[in-house]
Each structure stands twice: as C-alpha cells, then as structure tokens.
Amino acid sequence: MRQEFRALGRSATPEACQALVDSIGSDLRELASAVSQLTSDVDGTIDEAVVGRYYTGRAEASSFNVADRAVEGRAAEALEALRWSLSTGVAPVLITSALAQGVRAIGKLSSARGGRPADLARELGMPPWKIDRVRQQMRGWTPDGVSLALRAIAEADAG
C-alpha cells in the first residue's frame, strides 16, 4: 500500500494503510483504485482520518462487484450491488472506473490473436488468471456492444 502511494508521489501513514485495508478488504484492484482516488482528492499526507471520511463501512461494497456482475450480463445482481455500494458511500467515480476497466478488458481480449492464456497475458498486459475470467465475461459481447458500453461509461463518468 505504501509503495502504491509512493508511486503516485504521495505518502500515507501506516495507520491509514491499515484503515484502508480494513475498510475495503484485500481486493488489490479496489485498493489501488482507492489509493488513486485519495491521492487525487486530498492534499498532503494521507492519514487515518482521511481514510475514515472516504471509506468507513465499505468492506462489503465493491465497485468491482458491480462491474463484474454488469459485464457478465447479471443485471439484477449488478443493480443490487450498485444500490448497496452507493448506499454505503462508494464514490460513483470508482464504479465507472471499474466498469470501464471491465469493458476495456473485454474489448482487448476479443480483438487479440492467440490462444494460450500465458501468451495472451503477455500480449495484453494482464495476468493469466484474468484472461480466463475475461473470456467467461465476454460471452454475449459484440464489438458494437463494447463500443456502445464504453461511450455510456464515459458519459456516466463525466456526469
């Protein structure tokens, strides 16, 4: 966590890092997204009080839970996760970011050539486990659907 803050040119107290893990959980994507959000919104050193204002009570609410369900076509579950996330204070920008990451991954994989997850992982810059997961998620997606979804996500993000 502290290295992630340092990579963005910022510092965080050990207590802030622990509070972030306690609030968000161990999902590395969520943690990296939270670090990015905090460093863009808050000046100075990130401490426990800052993390408390932004992320208290969010361990069960994950923008990636919303995004995963949405890209898999599980609309009812995605809406339920969205409502829960918003009601517990997950920033909408985190949700649109997770959706964009999910749809971009589908677009990248659907246009890639090759078959083995390890080869595709190197080509696309994803870990091999994610190739398998995105393959499952991309069922039912068309190139036009990916394009339309990315435009909709960009509009939602701008809003």
Phi, psi of 125 (to 5 degrees): 70, 35
Domain 64-159: which CATH number of 3.40.630.30, 3.30.465.10, 1.20.272.10, 3.40.605.10: 1.20.272.10
Q: To the nearest whole number, what is the mean pLDDT of the chain?
A: 87
pLDDT at 54 over 80: no
- Candidates 149, 36, 54; CA nearest to 101 is 149
CA dist 10 and 144 (Å) reads 40
Model pLDDT, residue 112: 87
Question: Where would I find the H helices in 2-142?
Answer: 2-7, 14-24, 28-41, 48-55, 63-71, 75-87, 92-111, 117-124, 128-137
Q: Range(s) for CATH 1.20.272.10 in the chain? A: 64-159
Q: What would the mean pLDDT of 61-82 be, rounded to a whole number?
A: 88
| Percentage, residues of the chain above pLDDT 90 | 42
Question: How far does CA 36 lie from the centroid of its chain?
Answer: 11
Model pLDDT, residue 59: 45
- Candidates 102, 98, 89; CA nearest to 23 is 89
pLDDT at 57 over 70: no
Q: Answer yes or no: pTM beyond 0.75.
A: no
